[in-house]
Amino acid sequence: MPELPEVETVCRGLGVRLVGRRLVRVDQRRPGLRQPFPEDMPARLTGRRVTAIRRRAKYLLMSLDDGWAVILHLGMSGRLVISDAPGAPPGRHDHVILETDDGAVVMFNDARRFGLMTLSLETGLAAHPLLAGLGPEPLAPGFTPKALSARLAGRATPIKTALLDQTVVAGLGNIYVAEALFHAGISPLRPAASVAGPPAARLVPAIRRVLKAAIAAGGSSLRDYVQTSGELGYFQHQFAVYDRAGLPCPGCHCAVAETGGIQRLTQANRSTYYCPRRQD
How does strand 94-100 pair with strand 78-83? unpaired
Question: Which one, 61 or 104, has the nearer CB to DNA?
Answer: 61
Determine if 130 is a binding residue for DNA (CB under 7 A): yes
Task: State the number of binding residues for DNA (CB under 7 A).
Answer: 42
Which segments within the chain are labelled E, that is strand? 23-28, 50-56, 59-64, 68-73, 78-83, 94-100, 105-110, 116-121, 263-267, 270-274
> Which part of the chain contacts DNA (CB under 7 A), choosing from 37-45, 98-106, 173-181, 248-256?
173-181
Does 77 bind DNA (CB under 7 A)? Our answer is yes
The contact pattern for DNA, residues 212-251, with x = CB under 7 A and - = no contact, is: -------xxxxxxx-------x------------------
Greatest alpha-carbon pair distance for the chain in Å reads: 64
Cβ–Cβ under 8 Å, residues 91 and 67? no
Say whether residue 164 binds DNA (CB under 7 A).
Answer: yes
Q: Which residues are catalytic?
A: 2-3, 58, 270
CB of 150 to DNA, least distance (A): 13
Q: Is residue 265 close enough to count as binding DNA by CB under 7 A?
A: no
Q: Is 22 in the site for DNA (CB under 7 A)?
A: no
CB 156 within 8 A of CB 193: yes
The SS3 assignment for 42 reads: helix
Q: Rounded distance, CA 109 to CA 225, Å?
A: 11
155 binds DNA (CB under 7 A): yes
Nearest 5 degrees, angle CA 16-CA 105-CA 236?
Answer: 65
Cβ distance to DNA smaller for residue 43 or 132: 132
CB 53, min distance to DNA, A: 18
Distance CA 17, CA 107 (A): 13
Determine the Cα–Cα distance for residues 151 and 153; give it in Å rounded to an integer.
Answer: 6
Rounded to a whole number of angstroms, the minimum distance from the CB of residue 207 to DNA is: 14
Q: Minimal CA–CA distance to 211: which of 203, 201, 199, 200?
A: 203
**Contact between 173 and DNA per CB under 7 A:** yes
CB of residue 236 to DNA, shortest distance in Å: 8
Q: Name which of 99 and 219 has its Cβ closer to DNA.
A: 219
- Find the binder of DNA among 31, 87, 140, 156 (CB under 7 A): 156
Helix, coil or strand: residue 272: strand
Q: How far is the CB of 194 from DNA (least distance, A)?
A: 12
The region of 41-49, 60-68, 108-116, 255-263 touching DNA under the rule CB under 7 A is 108-116
190 contributes a contact to DNA by CB under 7 A: no
What is the three-state SS of 121-147?
A: EHHHCCCCCCCCCCCCCCCCCCCCHHH
Is there a contact between 205 and 238 (Cβ–Cβ < 8 Å)?
no
Whole-angstrom Cα distance, residue 233 to residue 2?
11
Strand segments (E) across 84-240 = 94-100, 105-110, 116-121
Based on the shown chain and the rule CB under 7 A, indicate whether residue 161 belongs to the binding site for DNA: yes
Binding footprint of DNA on the chain (CB under 7 A): 1-3, 6, 34, 57-58, 73, 75-77, 92-93, 111-114, 130, 155-158, 161-162, 164, 166, 173-175, 192, 219-225, 233, 268-271
